[in-house]
Chains A and B, each alone.
Chain A
Amino acid sequence: MTSISATGAPARGAAIDIVSASKRYGGFVALDNVSLHIEAGEFMTLLGPSGSGKTTTLNVVAGFTEVTSGNLDVGGASMVGTPAHKRNIGVVFQHYALFPHMNVGRNVAYPLTLRGIGRAEREKRVARALDMVKMADFAHRYPSELSGGQQQRVALARAIVFDPPILLMDEPLGALDKKLREWLQLEIKRIHRELGTTFVYVTHDQEEALVLSDRIAVFNQGKIEQIGTGRQLYDEPATLFVGKFIGDSTVLRGDVRTSGEETAIAVAGETVVTRKRLPGTMKPVMLLRPEKLSLTRPGQAANGRNRLPGQITEAIYLGSGSKYEVRLRDGSTAIVRSPLEAEIFAIGDAVSLTFAETDAKLLADDGRADLTLT
């Protein structure tokens, strides 16, 4: 209860330090030596497929789960062994978790009641929190009388009303439809800006992660694959898993030949080349973003050495351009985004897929990428 300011003004966010945290359930390793530093006031998203350890990490910070080994510091103090109710951390759950026997006003007032805050002050702060989530007119409604989006906004108000230095959100928009989700994403972003609280957000939706976050930690199989801004993850994925999980991507596999600083991969008889080389002994694959690929008619002149024949299997008009799926000769699928002014292709068209040598990313085929994609 240390960080409640007397004036009720928003407390500054606190930094979180997770150091070599592991969590084992019998033989199952939910968290495998995870280290993560979250800056005070940062919006950090934990992204990954289900069972990747992101929710376990959140539960460790919230105090619902204790680590098997490792350490957790919040605002510079170790939290290991501190029960959840003494951590002063706000949590928003996917299933809202509003108390059905209390109306909206009493739900939001609950953490203040627990802290022994007087009635006048309590009412003021409840009103302010409900105002912030635009639910001020609903104070006398019961949770069952609200829609999912409204319930989640009340849950958010309840989690911020006591000015916690950290707010944890566990797939808060997971149960809502797309339109509502997109609108609430912007609301959450605005509230983060206004409060300055450290937000830790768990999701399996990479688009949501890109919209919301300052930085994203990508989880897979109980480990963190990469931590970085959305741009870093998209442009410079550290692993094949990250490359495939963030954004659309085309992966080219085949026999590898390296010569000097060049790597060549033979895909169904055709060879593509990149001026990169992978250190170590892992087998490399090429990863290409859809906007880095272009399509031409077969035989038509194109710049660069990299040409792969294929056939259009799906053509989607997006307004701002077109998106194609192209089946390559080895049976794999390439995803291409072409700009508005580019030539239009139809399903069944034979095409050549071309890309610049510098645009292909070379990543290790470590076998982790295909296991848990959902």
Chain B
Amino acid sequence: MRHFPGNWIQAREIPLHIRDTHPCEVFGVSISQTGLASTAEAASEPAKPPPRRRLHLAGNALWLTVPALLLLLGVVGYPLLTIVLRSFSEPMWGLQNYVWFFGTPVNLVVLQRTFEVSAWVTLACVICAYPYAYMMTAVGPLLRMLLVLCVLVPFWVSGVVRTMAWVILLQDSGVINSALRWAGFGTVRLIRTQQGVVIGMTQVLLPFMILPLYSVMRGIDLRLVQAARSLGARPSRAFLQVYLPLSLPGVYAGAIIVFILALGFYITPALLGGPRSTMLSTLVQNQVLSLLNWGRGGAMGVVLLVATFILLALAAPLMRQRHRQGARR
């Protein structure tokens, strides 16, 4: 079951990253920063921060990575390999599972919907997270702690419980619709619709957008905005031409994480969605657990995996932009 790319990063691990001072390195933001900074250092003279200290460990100290490698290769790699194999070998060797997948219109509709919902969730996350992360950099330490807490608290509550909470809020007789009716707007159908799924998933995935964004924004020197002002930029232009471009690596990193996690989402769409908002993971569950058809389930997983890789490859040039942050202190 746990072969969706989204599940490689388990939601419950996240609080560990946050204790670390650089949560975003987990999310791969540093690609655009540290990598380029080192080449820059070589090209310039003094007044540069010294290169990062490196522990000099003997070559055989690689055993330190063994526990993690065991988990990754054994618990993720091996099942993944089995699933790929089974998608080609069950019930017999051949491409029949893939032929079935691409030959069945429902599958393609669901695949398209999965990408659509993920895109909406990503967009909603960017819109909600950007100002929030900015405020986290702008407020004092006490308020910042509170804001961080608000991001983290949902992680300490099980995903099922949180989703059930959404059921209570979104259902036709729920809080939101009661309020709408009371205000005279009538009932809006939220539960078992795509909108409901997007709302629920946005809430669950928001921290994955906020944290890398915050990490990048915290590194932006606000004196750059002041410099832009002194050069004649009104506040809106200073934001658009200086602050926004410098914060984009955080947006990209967060968007990629959120999008990929959203592609593999299972619980939330299953509980909040209806037949018309089924996502691919639900189909996989159906094939494997209800129909015991591991080959078809595996093929769906592989399609999702390959689609994700293609997407990452397309996004790579964005991440590798010439955002050179070496000048900041």
Nearest B residue to A108 via CB reads B231
A144 to B232 alpha-carbon distance, docked (Å): 24
Are A147's CB and B48's CB within 8 A? Answer: yes
Whether the Cβ atoms of B40 and A1 lie closer than 8 Å is no
Q: B128 → chain A, closest Cβ, in Å?
A: 25
| B45 pairs with A147, CB closer than 8 A | yes
Contact A99 B229 (CB under 8 A): no
Mark B34-57 against chain A: 1 for CB-CB distance below 8 A, else 0. 001100100111111000000000
What sequence of 0s and 1s flags, for each residue 1-43 of chain A, a beta carbon within 8 Å of any chain B beta carbon? Answer: 1000000000000000000000000000000000000000000
Nearest-neighbor residue (CB-CB) of B222 within chain A: A97
Q: B47 — which chain A residues lie within 8 A by C-beta?
A: 147-149, 175-177
Q: Does A93 contact B (CB under 8 A)?
A: yes
Interface presence of B133 (CB below 8 A): no
List residues of chain A with CB within 8 A of the CB of B329: 95
Give the docked Cα–Cα distance between A8 and B185 (Å): 62
Q: Which residues of A contact B46 (CB under 8 A)?
A: 147-148, 177, 180
* CB within 8 Å of B: which A332-373 residues: none
Contact bitstring B226-242, A, C-beta under 8 A = 1, else 0: 11111111110110011
Docked complex: B313-328 residues within 8 A CB-CB of A: 322-328
Cα distance, A14 to B246, chains bound together (Å): 35
| Interface-lining segment among A84-92, A119-127, A200-208, A288-296 | A84-92
Distance, CA A87 to CA B231, complexed state (A): 9
Could you say which residues of chain A place their CB within 8 Å of the CB of B237? Answer: 114
Given contacts A114-B233, A149-B47, contact A142 B228 (CB under 8 A): no
- Report the minimum CB–CB distance from B195 to chain A (whole Å): 37
Write out the residue numbers on chain A whose beta carbons fall within 8 Å of the beta carbon of B228. Answer: 99, 110
Interface string of A134-175 (1 = CB under 8 A from B): 000000001111111111000000110010000000000001
Please state if B221 and A97 are interface contacts (CB–CB under 8 Å).
yes
B323 and A145 within 8 A (CB): no
Given A142-B322, A151-B327, A175-B47, are A89 and B230 neighbors across the interface (CB < 8 Å)? Answer: yes
Whose C-beta in chain A lies nearest to the C-beta of B237?
A: A114
Count of residues in A whose CB is under 8 Å from the partner chain: 42
Q: B74 an interface residue at 8 Å Cβ cutoff?
A: no
Question: Which single member of B44, B235, B238, B328 contacts A100 (CB below 8 Å)?
Answer: B328
Contact check, A64 vs B324: say whether CB atoms are below 8 A apart.
no
> Is B276 interfacial (CB 8 A cutoff)?
no
Quick check: A143 and B326 within 8 Å, CB to CB? yes
In the bound complex, CA of A144 to CA of B41 (Å): 8
With a 10 A CB-CB cut-off, give which of B37, B48, B238, B327 has the most chain A CB atoms.
B327
| Contact pick for A142, options B235, B245, B324, CB 8 Å | B324
Contact B230 A91 (CB under 8 A): yes
Instruction: Assess the A162–B231 pair: CB atoms within 8 A.
Output: yes
Using known A-B contacts A147-B47, A177-B46, determine if residue A97 contacts B226 with beta carbons closer than 8 Å.
yes
Chain B, Cβ-Cβ closest to A96: B327
Residues in A with CB closer than 8 Å to B43 are 145
Q: Indicate whether B224 reaches chain A with its CB closer than 8 angstroms.
A: yes
* Contacting residues, chain A, for B19 (C-beta < 8 A): none
In the complex, how many angstroms separate the beta carbon of A125 from the nearest chain B beta carbon?
14
Residue of A nearest to B229 (CB): A84
Q: In the complex the two chains form, is B326's CB within 8 Å of A85's CB? A: no
Contact of B226 among A64, A100, A143 (CB under 8 A): A64
| Residues A245-287 near B (CB distance < 8 A) | none
A100 CB contacts on chain B under 8 angstroms: 224, 246, 323-328
Q: List residues 199-238 of chain B with CB under 8 A from any CB of chain A.
A: 221, 223-224, 226-235, 237-238
* Chain B contacts for A298, CB-based, 8 A: none
Shortest CB–CB separation between residue B34 and chain A, in angstroms?
Answer: 12
CA distance A210 to B288 in the complex (A): 82
Interface residues of B in 71-129 (CB under 8 A from A): none
Q: Inside 8 A of B36's CB, which chain A residues have their CB?
A: 144
User: In the complex, what residue of chain B is closest to A141 when comparing beta carbons?
Assistant: B43
Q: Which residues of B contact A149 (CB under 8 A)?
A: 45, 47
Judge whether A144 and B326 touch: CB under 8 Å: yes
State in angstroms the CA–CA spacing of A175 and B168 once bound together.
59
CA distance A63 to B229 in the complex (A): 9
Q: How many angstroms between the C-alpha atoms of A158 and B160 in the bound complex?
A: 56
The answer for the CA separation of A234 and B44 in the assembled complex, in Å, is 40
Per a CB cutoff under 8 Å, which of A83, A143, A159, A176 touches B324? A143
Asked whether, in the complex, the Cβ of A111 is within 8 Å of the Cβ of B324, the reply is no
Minimum C-beta distance from A168 to chain B (A): 8
Q: Give per-residue flags for A95-109: 1 if the beta carbon is below 8 A from chain B beta carbons, else 0.
A: 111111100000000
Chain B's closest residue to A144 (CB) is B326
Residues of A within 8 A of B241 (CB): 110
Pair A158/B327 contact, Cβ less than 8 Å? no
Which of B223, B246, B326 contacts A95, CB < 8 Å?
B223
Nearest chain B CB to A108's CB is how many angstroms away? 10
> Interface on B for A, CB 8 Å cutoff?
36-37, 40, 43-48, 221, 223-224, 226-235, 237-238, 241-242, 245-246, 322-329
Known: A62-B230, A114-B233, A145-B43. 13 other contacts (CB 8 A): A84-B229, A85-B233, A86-B232, A95-B223, A97-B224, A101-B323, A110-B241, A111-B232, A142-B324, A145-B40, A145-B324, A148-B46, A151-B327
Name 29 interchain pairs, CB-CB below 8 A, sorted by A: A62-B230, A63-B230, A84-B230, A85-B229, A85-B231, A85-B238, A86-B232, A90-B230, A90-B231, A95-B221, A96-B327, A97-B223, A100-B323, A100-B327, A100-B328, A101-B323, A110-B241, A111-B232, A142-B322, A143-B326, A144-B44, A144-B324, A144-B325, A145-B44, A145-B326, A148-B48, A149-B47, A159-B231, A162-B232
Listed from nearest, the 5 A-B pairs whose CB atoms lie closest are A144-B326, A148-B47, A147-B45, A97-B227, A143-B327
